[in-house]
Amino acid sequence: MAITISIVEDDRNTRSNLMALLKSETSLALLSAYESGEDAVRRMPAEKPQVALVDIHLPGMSGIDCTAKLKAALPELQVLMLTAYEDSDKIFNSLRAGASGYLLKRMVPTELIQAIEQVRLGGSPMSMRVARKVVDHFHQIRQPASDMEKLSKREQEILTLLAKGYLYRQIGDALGISLGTVRTHLQRIYEKLHVQTRTEATVKFLGGAD
């Protein structure tokens, strides 16, 4: 069966070109085309298209806000953002709003058709440059520190001696600190490693943090 589609695009020429392209494909069925997000939010839910092509830069209600409202009314709707922008904030705000893909308008028509088919099958199509921005974003995110990385230099020294079998007083003597200070450090070590005993701390130290 043909994939049913609606368009939300305020530029008349772009909207006409999209309509002509979709009508030329027998695997696709164009249901409607809207000039504004307000009109789309008001009328599209009754049509229940499977895929919506939404321009991100609409007058009045933005394409991002339009997407969020459409997804709230039609949870199964797959939204593809069409835009001239590669701005990272717009990309991620669109995805947070519920968009399943983010495509640049300058792509060739065959890529748009393929993207519609992909999103209907559960994919998240993105223009190559956009996909690279998404990948770069996640590469820049600092991964959570392991339990061992949370330990201070002094705590690591104490844990090393503990793993070698040193008694608390021997640890204090080796590091030139009091027995009370050793106990305080050990308590913090146990909390950071999520353990309760010397043995558990030693095992985790020797085995490495998960």
CATH number at residue 102: 3.40.50.2300
pLDDT tens digits for range 23-74: 999 999 999 999 999 999 999 999 999 999 999 999 999 999 999 999 999 9
Six token digits for residue 136: 């770069």
Residues 26 and 73 both lie in one domain: yes
Distance of alpha carbon 196 from alpha carbon 139, whole angstroms: 35
The predicted pLDDT at position 129 comes to 75
Of 140, 172, 191, which one is at a domain's C-terminal end? 140
Distance of alpha carbon 14 from alpha carbon 9, whole angstroms: 7
> What integer is the mean pLDDT of 132-153?
70
pLDDT tens digits for range 187-205: 999 888 888 877 778 777 7
Domain total of the chain: 2
The rounded mean pLDDT for the chain is 87
Q: In the chain, what percentage of residues exceed pLDDT 90?
A: 51
Residues 15 and 93 both lie in one domain: yes
Q: Which residues contact 199 (CB under 8 A, 6 or more apart)?
A: none
Residues 88 and 134 both lie in one domain: yes
Q: Is the separation of the CB atoms in 82 and 107 below 8 Å? A: no
Residues 75 and 163 both lie in one domain: no
Alpha helices in the chain (DSSP H): 12-23, 37-47, 63-73, 88-97, 109-120, 128-140, 153-163, 168-175, 179-193, 198-207
Residues 177 and 104 both lie in one domain: no
3-state secondary structure of 126: strand
Of 140, 160, 187, which one is at a domain's C-terminal end? 140
Residues 118 and 193 both lie in one domain: no
Residues 125 and 195 both lie in one domain: no
**Which of 30, 64, 65, 63 is CA-nearest to residue 47?**
30
Alpha helices in 8-108 (DSSP H): 12-23, 37-47, 63-73, 88-97
pLDDT tens digits for range 69-107: 999 999 999 999 998 877 778 888 888 899 998 888 888
Tell me the residue range of the domain where 194 lies: 148-207
Q: Is the separation of the CB atoms in 54 and 63 below 8 Å? A: yes
Of 84, 116, 140, which one is at a domain's C-terminal end? 140
**Which of 131, 112, 147, 137 is CA-nearest to residue 3?**
112
> What integer is the mean pLDDT of 156-161?
89
**Which of 45, 91, 39 is CA-nearest to residue 72?**
45
CATH number at residue 203: 1.10.10.10
Six token digits for residue 64: 């991002």
pLDDT at 114 over 70: yes
Residues 158 and 125 both lie in one domain: no
